[in-house]
């Protein structure tokens, strides 16, 4: 069941055709999917305070209804560590088209994983797992399952990926926390069942997974065309 707040987010995004990253992450966080600590602001002071509080590097992202693919518009700045860079980049991002707020997030690291969903015409919601980042389109190494999925479905998805050994830990490198990844996929698959009347596709890419946790670094929800 969707809460009234989430239904309202989806309804108000209908005309744009997609849900902006901050409200998309609000939907995910409502279902206990981990998202980075963040602040949404146009104020450099607020952003600087957030940087100081979180103690590590932050990511800045322009929030604009006109920018769907952020990397193509240089609308993401990673590894921001000092207040001067932060201030300069805030100015630059706020000057991008349609951008009146910046999402400032703690920077999370780990193996980049793609968790996605598609609302298939014949089968309804399906979930997708693959290695994340921009390479996913090139290698086409993904596993697809009918939603909702069970923990054993997630195990079989990891096994089905050519990149499965990377997730499980390969040549001395640590893998991802399988319990966290499994919980995320199972919870996400139940969420997409509830979102069935609204969405066309969802990309959580990348989800940053390490040996402790899985955190959704970026999220995009494309909505079905209005009837």
Partner 1 sequence: MDLTCLFRPSSMAVIGVSTTHDHHPANVIYNKNHLRYPVQTFAVNPKGGRLNREPVYGSVAQIEAAVDLAVIAVRSRFVPDVVTQCIEKGIKGAVIISGGFAETGDKDLQKEVTDLAAQADFPFVGPNCLGIYSPDAVDTFFLPGERIIHPKKGNIGFVSQSGGVLVDQMVKFAGQGIGVSAAVSIGNKACIRETHMIDWFEQDLGTRVIAFYIEGFECREGREFIKRAHTCTKPIVVLKAGKTARGIAAASSHTASVAGDYRVFSEIMAQHCVAEADTEYELTSFCEALSCYPKGSSGHIGIVSLSGGHGVVAADACGHHGLDIPEITEQTAGAIHSRLSPEIQAIASLKNPLDLTGSCVDDDILTAVRHLSRDPHIDCILALLLPYSPGISADIGAKLSQVARNEGKPLIAYVPKEDKYKIIIEGFELNRIPVASSVEGAVLMAKALKRCHPC
144 binds partner 1 (CB under 8 A): yes
Q: What is the DSSP string of 184-222?
A: HHHHHHHHHHHTTTTEEEEEEEEEEE-SS-EEE--EEEE
Instruction: Name the token pair of 123.
Output: 């089968």
224 binds partner 1 (CB under 8 A): no
Please identify, using beta-carbon distances, which residue of 91 and 120 lies nearer to partner 1: 120
Q: How far is the CB of 144 from partner 1 (least distance, A)?
A: 4
Strands (E), 51-152: 58-63, 76-80, 101-106, 111-120, 124-131, 142-146
122 binds partner 1 (CB under 8 A): yes
User: Which residue of 79, 146, 174, 179 would you call a contact of partner 1, by CB under 8 A?
Assistant: 146
Residues 6 or more apart whose Cβ sits within 8 Å of residue 71: 134
Q: Rounded to an integer, what is the distance from CA 81 to the centroid of its chain?
A: 22
124 binds partner 1 (CB under 8 A): yes
User: Which residue of 2, 34, 143, 224 would you call a contact of partner 1, by CB under 8 A?
Assistant: 143
Helix, strand, or coil (residue 63): strand
User: Which residue of 4, 69, 152, 227 would you call a contact of partner 1, by CB under 8 A?
Assistant: 152
Contact (CB, 8 A) for 9 and 23: yes
Q: Which stretch binds partner 1 (CB under 8 A): 36-44, 61-69, 151-159, 182-190?
A: 151-159
Q: Which stretch binds partner 1 (CB under 8 A): 6-14, 48-56, 78-86, 145-153?
A: 145-153
Q: Which stretch binds partner 1 (CB under 8 A): 63-71, 79-87, 117-125, 178-186?
A: 117-125
User: Which residue from 128, 129, 127, 122 is spatially nearest to 148, judged by alpha carbons?
Assistant: 127
115 binds partner 1 (CB under 8 A): no
């Amino acid at each position: 069941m969707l809460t009234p707040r989430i239904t309202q987010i989806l309804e108000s995004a209908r005309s744009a055709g997609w849900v902006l990253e901050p409200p998309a992450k609000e939907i995910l966080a409502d279902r206990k999917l981990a998202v980075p600590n963040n602040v949404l602001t146009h104020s450099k002071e607020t952003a600087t305070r957030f940087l100081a509080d979180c103690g590590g590097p932050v990511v800045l992202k322009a929030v604009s209804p006109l920018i769907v693919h952020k990397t193509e518009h240089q609308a993401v700045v990673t590894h921001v560590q000092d207040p001067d860079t932060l201030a300069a980049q805030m100015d630059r991002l706020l000057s991008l088209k349609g951008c009146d707020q910046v999402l400032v997030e703690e920077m999370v690291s780990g193996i980049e994983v793609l968790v996605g969903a598609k609302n298939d015409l014949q089968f309804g919601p399906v979930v997708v797992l693959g290695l994340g980042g921009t390479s996913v389109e090139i290698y086409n190494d993904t596993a697809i399952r009918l939603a909702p999925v069970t923990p054993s479905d997630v195990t079989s998805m990891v096994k089905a990926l050519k990149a499965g050994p990377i997730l499980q830990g390969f040549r001395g490198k640590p893998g991802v926390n399988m319990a966290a990844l499994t919980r995320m996929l199972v919870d996400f698959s139940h969420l997409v069942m509830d979102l069935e009347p609204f969405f066309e596709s969802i990309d959580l890419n990348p989800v940053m997974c390490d040996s402790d946790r899985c955190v959704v670094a970026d999220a995009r929800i494309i909505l079905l065309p209005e009837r």
